[in-house]
With several copies, the nearest count.
Chain A
């Protein structure tokens, strides 16, 4: 180890941090684009405030919960303290060969908010703003770091004989968000008019260009999300991760294109966009383990799965306006499993460990998010009233419109 390599590694980690940051704009654009114009200010508001929440709560407690230090190795929960305190030699490779303490913190902090952003898409167009913000604070500030600690903080998932493997967070990040998205969408119930006696109604997203911008920005940021998870600038590993990430996204697009065309006989761009994301979520757990061919297969299956998942959740009347559950939960589970099926770690043993990880994380996230949402539902309420939903959340929660100069179609 030397100062040069340390500086390079740290530089890459900082660049990766910025790339993960811009993913929040990706989520904001995608979710705004796939919902209705009358709820656009609301969804943008949520996606703007969530990263702020993530950064602040992570500084206050999240980071210490997620990386409590070796004393808590193998355990379920730990806490290193409150707030940010600089350790000895925080800015030298004595701290870590890949990054300074501050780089470490900020890179992780950018990840944190992601979990809540995923949820905001699934509960869009009907959730009350206040309760959702409250949920986000708890979920990002406490639930996410606890789960993260289990694996990345050296917790019990990391110290199994055959450790659970999740390179950049198919489970630790995406499923964590996906489970809460599932719970939230279920407890809220569908948007008015989505499932009627006369059958299911389509509620088209109002701005496809924004949705497209969102997915490209997410893909763009994903190179930092996965590439940064190498935690150094090691040429071989990072470039391998770049290739698997790019290929999985591309084949995810084709998986969804083919599946949706066969199923619906139409070229549905929103499915292709979801497919790209599902491919990316899918490769996230094993981005450093796969070859080009394996990445292509994982992405393709991820993209295919998302189409069936969207249809499935609609069938069971769980209304997810942007497909967040299909992309992040289903895609995340698939990607986590794929580590046992393909690539350097493939093996029955590994599949088992992966299943354990999926299960415990699922149980914990389902339980905690249910607890938070359900207790709010029974008290302050989590859903806007009917009139507000019909008129739109923008005018009611924000007394504002997203597009005051444009005439609306209906």
Chain B
């Protein structure tokens, strides 16, 4: 069982979601995060003072899934999340030891 974490462009979420759900990934969790990286935020001006928000708003995606689906999911994200511009983000893979479905206490892969 693996956990896939991806930091993506918020604007790319829709496409990526459609793609992974196409693979049969019915569940995922995402939330807004702030990123520091190569890309720089658009400059803003207020009363004559220019400033640049230090971070870039991004979306973080979390999918815990079975081994077989890890590759395909990664491909989805790489394909759909790509613009080629600095700022596209990253994917990280982690080991997940166990999963439980709260509704009925299922555990193991059927809980995913």
Contact = CB atoms under 8 A, between A and B. Distances in A.
In the complex they form, whether A and B have CB atoms below 8 Å apart is answered with yes
Given A399-B42, A410-B10, A270 B32 contact: no
Contacts of A307: 48
Nearest to B55: A410
B47 A323 contact: yes
Interface in B35-52: 42-51
A266 B45 contact: yes
A304 interface: no
> Chain A CB within 10 Å — which of B32, B42, B43, B45 has the most?
B45
A268 B46 contact: yes
B46 A400 contact: yes
Contacts, number: 51
Nearest to A199: B49
Contacts of B51: 201-202
A391 B9 CA distance: 12
A310 interface: yes
A310 B45 contact: no
B43 A268 contact: no
B11 interface: yes
Interface in B20-34: 32
- For chain B, the bracket of interface size reads 10 to 19
Contacts of A263: 48
A391 B57 CA distance: 12
Contacts of B46: 202-205, 268, 270, 400
Nearest to B44: A399
A401 interface: yes
A395 B45 contact: no
Interface residues of A, number: 26
Contact of A314 (B42, B44, B49): B49
Contacts of B50: 202, 264
B48 A264 contact: yes
B11 A268 contact: no
B47 A395 contact: no
A395 B42 CA distance: 8
A338 B44 CA distance: 36
Interface in B52-69: none
A407 interface: yes
Given A399-B42, A399-B43, A410-B10, A310 B32 contact: no
A310 B48 CA distance: 8
Interface string B61-91: 0000000000000000000000000000000
Nearest 4 Cβ contacts at the A-B interface: A202-B49, A202-B46, A202-B51, A204-B46
Interface of A: 200-205, 260, 263-264, 266, 268, 270-271, 307, 310-311, 314, 323, 390-391, 395, 399-401, 407, 410
26 contacts: A200-B49, A201-B51, A202-B44, A202-B45, A202-B47, A202-B51, A203-B46, A205-B46, A260-B48, A263-B48, A264-B50, A268-B45, A268-B48, A271-B47, A307-B48, A311-B48, A314-B48, A314-B49, A323-B47, A390-B11, A391-B42, A399-B43, A399-B44, A400-B44, A410-B10, A410-B32
Given A202-B51, A314-B49, 13 more contacts: A201-B51, A203-B46, A204-B46, A264-B48, A264-B50, A268-B47, A270-B46, A307-B48, A310-B47, A311-B48, A323-B47, A395-B44, A399-B43
